[in-house]
Structure 1
Amino acid sequence: MLGAGAPGARGQYSRGTGTPGRLRVIVLTYVLVALELTCLFMRFSILPYLTRQLGLDSVAFGYLQTTFGVLQLLGGPLFGRFADQRGARAAFTLSFLAASAFYLLLAAACSPSLPGLALLYAAPLPAALAHGLPAAQMVIADLSAPEERPAALGRLGLCFGVGMILGSLLGGTLSAACGIQCPAFVALVASLVAAVLSFTCIPTSTKGVSANAQATPPGAPKASIFDLKAISRLLLQPGVLPVFLVKVVSGFPSGLFLVMFSIISMDFFQLDAAQAGYLTSFFGVLQMVIQGVVIGWLSSHFSEGTLLRASVLIFIAVGVAMALMSNVLHFCLLMPGLVFSLCALNVVTDSMLTKAVSASDTGTMLGLCASIQPLTRTVGPTVGGLLYRSFGVPVFGHVQFATNVLVLLVLWRQPLPQKRDKVG
């Protein structure tokens, strides 16, 4: 087995092996994800202040967020297909170069001598191709044995927690000490470094020779990245659509609540910016522990179907608690259950879906999964805003309870198929 930087067929690794080269790739993948998420949360920490500095109101800020969501929604499946066809190295490099272009535009928008508004609205364009997390999930899925996959995907939660805590801290500290432009420049440099690491240290492909042969048979024309029929056909494969629908429907009510959380924390919980930041950090620590440690331990003792049903059951209990909560202490008490359900749902369904398709299609499948969150960010502010204005915070608990009761009934009557991974 050759090192991580070996090109072409030499850069391919067989899953489920314990070779040093494979472990180096996996560790580097975790590092790259943590770096990407740190930059992402630095962006979250400065973007509201930048839009206010440029004179945008909350409505215009909502339009900007919707633009981000739509572009990432459209770009996710295409990026996944690109990753399947061009390999892990090309996918990571493209993602970080696109992120670099985004942070360059964001830094330029902070300059008073440049047309800030025009640059700010242009910034989401390259972000449509910045999908480092699906690329990392593809690498982990390709290099892990089926029985190890939930734990391996769950450890990405550690990266998410590190990125959330470190990015929020750096964004606030750097903008206070050096100006709002500084975090954007730091994120730009970090993304360029990550692009170099991806190009030099990530193997060309992580799928193995047989999977690549399956993806492109000898003598056959290479399929187009923009073949939407090939992307949508994945959802029609046996065992895919039911799991995908459970992933979308079960997590959507919590997604609505989290989209509206900044407003809820101000209006309902009466928190200031610092207190909201502490609450966000608590969320990040919980995700690190639950997704990075607890889910991995549970996956070694229980089946994926059991964990999926458990997440839906806890969603139901959290929905009842959310409908009854009246202060931030109540929310802190229910937050571990909410985080567990979200982490278990995402990790288990990602694992099941990558096992339900061939090894040559794991990137496209994960790209489809990655489009769920942008979809929530696109429709969530409108739907969540209407619900919140009309019925208040308890409505999110009622919706979560009712939705997941229906999902549980479906799972009870028609259990999801347990498919073995197709070794490619």
Structure 2
Amino acid sequence: MSRRGETTEETSRASLSSQTNAEDQPKRMKIIYIVYLIAALDITWMFLQFSVTPYLARKLGFNTLWFGYLQTMVGVIQLVGGPMFGRFGDIFGARAALSLACSATVVFFLLLAIADHPAMLFVHKLPTVFMHVLPASQMVVADLSEPEKRADALSKLGLCFGIGMIAGSTLGGHLNTRYGETFTACFGAVGSAFSLLLVLKFIPKTTKAQAPTTNTDNANRSRSIFNVGEITRLMKFQGVAPTFLVKIVAGLPSGIFQVMFSIIALDFFKLEPEQNGYLMAYFGIVQMVIQGGVIGRLTATYSENSLLLLSIGVSSLVGLAQAYMQNVFQFCLIVLPMMFSLSVFNVITDSMLTKSVPSSDTGTMMGLCSSVQSLLRTVGPTAGGFLYMNYGISSIGLIQFVVNIAVFVHLLQRRLKKTAEQKQ
């Protein structure tokens, strides 16, 4: 009799929870749309900065190697800051995390505006330790979206990325050409301040699901953002470590090309700031189409493991094509499969990783995912600068081809072995 009463009570709670979720759905969607806007604006300011830094660095006497050191410094800072920032978001909530990230972006642009010495270019990168608007946005979207729709919801952030890439690259190219680096940097500071106002006005203090916790749970869980054990324990969840390793190994070669692209555009393609802006805008259009119209359909039809295999296979072919390209027109053709593989790879791995951990740890997991990108930016500039100066652009493409083919074969063999075991 007692057991029947408990079952009835549990059913009532589940029904009440479903009703509450249905009532909260419009509110959740409004917050998600605001987060999409904030993410699009942040990407706009980021690509606006890309239209300033390489040309300002050249004016201040930087060569390819020193520019690589500058990018490596950013990678190291964000590699350290990413997981800590994610943990900060889990503990203090979405509003605090996004406010900190937007405030750091304002300081970043103000320091860039007054940079008149090579040392100042290094100093202005220091606020990047807190500049994690995109991971914080991913945390909010992961918190508020249903698990089965998470990949599609995260892919819409990629759509925002494309919009920001177009707007930031085009705007940055025009502003830098007509008004110079200082005005462009000040424009970025004002835009970042506007993003901060949106956060303070519309983002709730927390977006985490309220789950019941015991006193023992609270005692065992530290609330320190510098607790490395609380961050690394996520690797113990099933499927996290292998997916994380694939994200690093398969993403490294393409990451090298991405961080070196500003130098490739300047040195190999001989592009002016405005032309570079148009090319980046083209990237954005392609990414918008893929993120907004392709990934959602793919995730609804195919499994995440199949899409992961597809993205890595396409990436290997992209590397081979990059090794033999000779001009901008050929590169524009390569951009189509390149953006497809990058978009699918990032969305699928992020979705798989966030599904593997509790909702209370999605911020920390997104911080770890962003630290992968930071690791690529740490290793990429130095490795890419060495390869480019000594062996040319073809060496970067060939390494991407070899590494991704190896990862593709490994994952395919593991999948075939698992299928055979299931049949037996």
From 27, 31, 37, the counterpart of 1:25? 31
TM-aligned CA distance change 1:14 to 1:82, over 3 Å:
farther
Deviation of 1:318 after TM superposition, in Å, equals 2.1
Inter-CA distance 40–271: structure 2 relative to 1 (3 Å threshold): closer
Q: Does 1:43 align with 2:49?
A: yes
Q: Which amino acid aligns with 2:175?
A: L
Aligned equivalents of 1:312, 1:248: Cα separation in 2? 12
TM-score by length of 2: 0.87
Q: Please identify which structure carries the higher helix content.
A: 2
Farther off after superposition, 354-363 or 317-326: 317-326
Q: In structure 2, the residue corresponding to 1:209 is in which secondary structure?
A: coil
Q: Is the 8 A contact 1:243 1:416 kept in 2?
A: no
Query: Offset of 1:153 from its aligned partner?
Result: 0.5
Determine the C-alpha separation between the residues in 1 that align with 2:342 and 2:23: 30
* Preserved CA contact (<8 Å) 1:305 1:416: no
Larger displacement relative to structure 2 (62-71 or 173-182): 173-182
Q: Which range moved further: 88-97 or 391-400?
A: 391-400
Q: 2:138 aligned with 1:132, yes or no?
A: no
Q: Would the alpha carbon gap of residues 17 and 283 (structure 1) be closer, same or farther in structure 2, given more than 3 Å must change?
A: farther
Q: Which amino acid aligns with 1:282?
A: Y
CA distance in 1, matches of 2:265, 2:294: 28
Query: Among 63, 70, 73, which residue is 1:64 paired with?
Result: 70
8 Å contact 1:43–1:184 — kept in the other structure? yes
Residue in 2 that maps onto 1:241: 241
- Give, as a single letter, the amino acid of the residue that structure 1 aligns with 2:40: A
Mapped to 2, the partners of 1:69 and 1:207 lie a distance apart of 29
Give 3-state SS (helix, strand or coil) of 1:260's partner: helix
Q: Report the identity percentage.
A: 49
Give the distance between the partners of 1:261 and 1:125, measured in 2 at CA: 22
Q: 2:14: which partner in 1?
A: none
Q: Tell me which moved more, 131-140 or 93-102.
A: 93-102
Alignment correspondent of 1:159 = 160
- d(CA) in 2 for partners of 1:329, 1:312: 24
Shift in Å, 1:215 = 11
Judged with a 3 Å threshold, the aligned counterparts in structure 2 of structure 1 residues 169 and 207 are, in CA distance, closer, same or farther, namely: same
TM-score normalised to the size of structure 1? 0.87
RMSD in angstroms over aligned alpha carbons?
A: 2.7
Task: Could you tell me which runs of 5 or more consecutive residues in structure 1 were left unpaired when the two chains were aligned.
Answer: 1-12, 111-115, 419-424
Take 1:214 and 1:76, find their aligned partners in 2: how far apart are those partners?
Answer: 29
- 1:142 maps to what in 2? 143
Q: What's 2:107 paired with?
A: 101
Tell me, in whole angstroms, the C-alpha distance in 1 between the residues paired with 2:416 and 2:356. Answer: 11
User: Could you tell me how far 1:270 is from its partner in structure 2?
Assistant: 4.9
Tell me which residue corresponds to 2:5.
Answer: none
Identify the residue that residue 368 of structure 1 maps to in structure 2: 368
Residue identity matched to 1:325: M
Shift of residue 268, structure 1, vs aligned partner: 4.1
Residues 388, 103 of structure 1: alpha-carbon distance in 2 compared, 3 angstrom cutoff: closer
Q: Secondary structure at the match of 1:210?
A: coil
Structure 1 residue 219: deviation in Å? 5.7
Q: Is contact 1:308-1:345 (8 Å) kept?
A: yes
2:326 maps to 1:320: no
Aligned twin of 1:79? 85
Stretches of structure 2 that go unaligned for 5 or more consecutive residues are 1-18, 419-424
Larger Rg: 2
Contact residue 84 and residue 226 of structure 2 kept, 8 A: yes
Shift of 1:237: 1.9
